[in-house]
Chain A
Amino acid sequence: DAKTTQPNSMESNEEEPVHLPCNHSTISGTDYIHWYRQLPSQGPEYVIHGLTSNVNNRMASLAIAEDRKSSTLILHRATLRDAAVYYCILRDPHEDAGNMLTFGGGTRLMVKP
C-alpha cells in the first residue's frame, strides 16, 4: 500500500472547524482513502472514505485534491469528544492480500474548551 504522511499533532478550539491534512503522493489510481480515529482507551472507529470526489457524512467531510496526492478530513465543529488520534489510510480493494488496514502514526488532535 502507498504511504501517507500526517502531522504528529494538531490543536483546535471547541466549536471551531478542524482541517486534518494527509499527504499521499504515491497513491495509485485504485487506492481508496480511508480515515479512522481512535478515541482514548477505545478501538479505532471508521470515519469516512473516498476515491476521487469529496465525500460527506454525519461525522465529517473528506476533501480530495484533484491530483489525489493529498486529502483533508474536515470536522465542521470540533467538540471535546473529537479529541482522538486520526489515521489516514490508503487501501486498494482490488489487491488480493486481504483487507487489512495499515495504520501509520496518525495525527493526535487536541481540542481546547
Chain B
Amino acid sequence: DSGVTQTPKHLITATGQRVTLRCSPRSGDLSVYWYQQSLDQGLQFLIQYYNGEERAKGNILERFSAQQFPDLHSELNLSSLELGDSALYFCASSVGLDPYEQYFGPGTRLTVT
C-alpha cells in the first residue's frame, strides 16, 4: 500500500459525458502527479501540482483539467469524453519537488462507451 488513494476504482460512462477522478496523496506529500496509461500510448504524464499550484504540464488535452485543493487532495476532470479516453488514470505523490521517489495510487479505470 503506497498510501495514495484514488476514487473511484472503476468508472463506466458514455461519450460526451464529464467525470471527476479524485486522488488523496500520502500524508505530508505536497506534490501530486497525474498519469494516463492506455494500451497504445503506455504511461504518459499529464500534469503536476505542488502545494496547490500547477507545476508542469505534459500531454494533457484541453478537455482535461485538474486542481489541487488546500487539503492537498487533487481532482482530475475529464470532459466531452471520447472512446479514446478509456484508460487507467494514476495519481502519484511525492514529498516535495524532489524527483527521487514518486508513490503511485492503485489507479482509476475509465471506460467510455
Contact = CB atoms under 8 A, between A and B. Distances in A.
B58 A100 contact: yes
A99 B31 contact: yes
Interface stretch (A7-15, A18-26, A40-48, A67-75): A40-48
A33 to B, nearest CB: 11
A47 B42 CA distance: 19
Contacts of A32: 99-100
Given A32-B99, A44-B104, A49-B100, A99 B48 contact: yes
A17 interface: no
Interface residues of A, number: 21
A46 B55 CA distance: 21
B101 interface: yes
A44 B35 CA distance: 11
A102 B33 CA distance: 12
A7 to B, nearest CB: 16
Interface centre among A46, A102, A105 (most CB of B within 10 A): A46
B53 to A, nearest CB: 11
B42 A99 contact: no
A97 B56 contact: yes
Contacts of B43: 38, 44, 87, 103
Nearest to A97: B56
Interface of A: 32, 34, 38, 42-46, 49, 87, 91, 93, 97-105
Which 7 pairs between the two chains have the least Cβ-Cβ distance? A98-B56, A43-B104, A100-B45, A103-B43, A99-B99, A46-B101, A98-B48
Given A99-B56, A100-B58, A103-B44, 19 more contacts: A32-B99, A32-B100, A34-B99, A42-B107, A43-B4, A43-B90, A43-B105, A44-B102, A46-B103, A49-B100, A49-B101, A98-B55, A98-B56, A99-B48, A100-B48, A101-B99, A101-B102, A103-B42, A104-B42
